[in-house]
Structure 1
């Protein structure tokens, strides 16, 4: 088998609907930084989209910032994005600090998740993959060079990121998150190519998800970016399983209904909430 790419129609740019901005009267970019505003914004976006869950954070820069990247927080039209790299030396990444869940935006996001769950909301948390994180810490050109010239260094860096993401998942689980969304937009087949994509599944993605599978309780589910799903399927690390829903259903509602019935889903982007599963079947992903 070989990896099939998924044509993503969404980008990583954040941004808030003007109607929501006017209704909440939140100030930006402050609303991206403190848990009270995050909770208000997440709930209002959920209601505006008629979604089945709140989603946090509003970007894919959270882990990178917590590891040292400098972030431009943007405004209501353009959300947080990378501003300055942490380093230009791949070896420097071996000594980056651990994620600290007690301070900064990382702590605020977790507080918002906890609050929303206490309010009875289903909460989906974005978890970024290694290349999305690295792309904030260092120019990816150095990363690609390192895979060829210093593969042992890259292996150690990926292992460090894997450990940190698993710590993040555990902490988020403890804070009440019941839907995890994992993706790596900067690490798709169209960017890495077939050989490196397969290598990343072996070195990182599959080991990460095998352990995450043990962390995620029966009260939670993980939604995989289809690019990740197809990479796992294409390397024989996972298989699809059809699960009957008994009726046609919006994708987001179907995902919530699968909590406790599957560990992983991933046939559709989490952002495509209104996609209708007309045949009343959703595909779960079973790791091999």
Structure 2
């Protein structure tokens, strides 16, 4: 087996909130983070500001955890929503949390905003979080890591619960017309989990999840993986690079759009690195094995 290498992330859990943009919109915060129309307006303005080829939603990594009962600080015009108080004291309690209801709450508003923007002809990138990032909203991570070490079967059950929810989120995204998905779980990266548990996470969760997503999405959708996830897949021999040459220098995000239909996964660079350029015109797509 190969060795997992880490990707030095300079973005962490950052999201695309910019005070200069929020002031320009005239929206009121944190109310703007709660309603689809203000979300759509903010996404459009951020797209213009970043000179991007997509509108990205949501503006945080908390919607899934909140929809499972997590308590959120909605933030303000400077910072997006973030976790406030943990609701679980033991990792096992996660198994008793309710299924996400995609017809209500902020997660529903996010999907409505996505549908509206797609209706206007925009590329829409939906940010979906992995299990460790979602659990950061629900429980002190120390309890999760302890459970992973001592009760791997229970951890597998927790992973299965999150896989089910993420697949349902992808299905709802498809219904809303979303054509780009960003999947990241920086809270479960090699630098945090260590090699042994990073490898187990790929085996127990990441690879099965992505194989299922691969079956679900069509040629009009693409999944942009966080490079931490990409390198974990490569390092456990679950995926290989597949180069596609697009004929000339091109921005990474634009290349991701162009290879839609030719590949289902990309992930050589963080999508938040808006100005990253493929100078030779070659994008590395990811083929799951």
Report TM bin, short chain: over 0.9
Show the counterpart of 1:213: 214
Q: Are the equivalent residues in 1 in contact too, given 2:23–2:77 (CA < 8 A)?
A: no
- In 1, distance between residues paired with 2:80 and 2:25? 17
- In 2, distance between residues paired with 1:274 and 1:14? 16
* Structure 2: gaps of 5 or more residues: none
Q: Quote how far apart the aligned CAs of 1:23 are.
A: 2.1
Matched, 1:250 2:245: no
- Relative to structure 1, is the Cα distance of residues 111 and 274 closer, same or farther in structure 2, using a 3 angstrom cutoff? same
TM-score for both structures, normalised by structure 1 = 0.98
User: Aligned-pair RMSD on alpha carbons?
Assistant: 0.9
- Cα distance per residue 1:144-180 (max 9 Å; x no partner): 1111222211111110110110011011111100000
- In 1, distance between residues paired with 2:176 and 2:168? 12
Show the counterpart of 1:2: 3
- In 2, distance between residues paired with 1:89 and 1:187? 18
Q: Are the equivalent residues in 2 in contact too, given 1:206–1:237 (CA < 8 A)?
A: yes
Show the counterpart of 2:26: 25
- Relative to structure 1, is the Cα distance of residues 59 and 206 closer, same or farther in structure 2, using a 3 angstrom cutoff? same
- Cα distance per residue 1:10-68 (max 9 Å; x no partner): 13244632332232101111111100000000011001111000000001111111111
* Structure 1: gaps of 5 or more residues: none
Show the counterpart of 2:13: 12
- In 1, distance between residues paired with 2:254 and 2:162? 31
Show the counterpart of 1:123: 124
- In 1, distance between residues paired with 2:237 and 2:222? 22
- 2:285 aligned counterpart, secondary structure: strand
Q: Are the equivalent residues in 1 in contact too, given 2:16–2:46 (CA < 8 A)?
A: no
TM-score for both structures, normalised by structure 2 = 0.98
Q: After the TM superposition, which segments of 4 or more aligned residues of structure 1 sit over 4 Å from their partners?
A: none
Matched, 1:142 2:122: no
Q: Quote how far apart the aligned CAs of 1:252 are.
A: 1.1
After the TM superposition, which residues 258-273 of structure 1 pair with which residues of structure 2 at under 5 Å, given as runs? 258-273=259-274
- Relative to structure 1, is the Cα distance of residues 149 and 258 closer, same or farther in structure 2, using a 3 angstrom cutoff? same
Show the counterpart of 2:279: 278
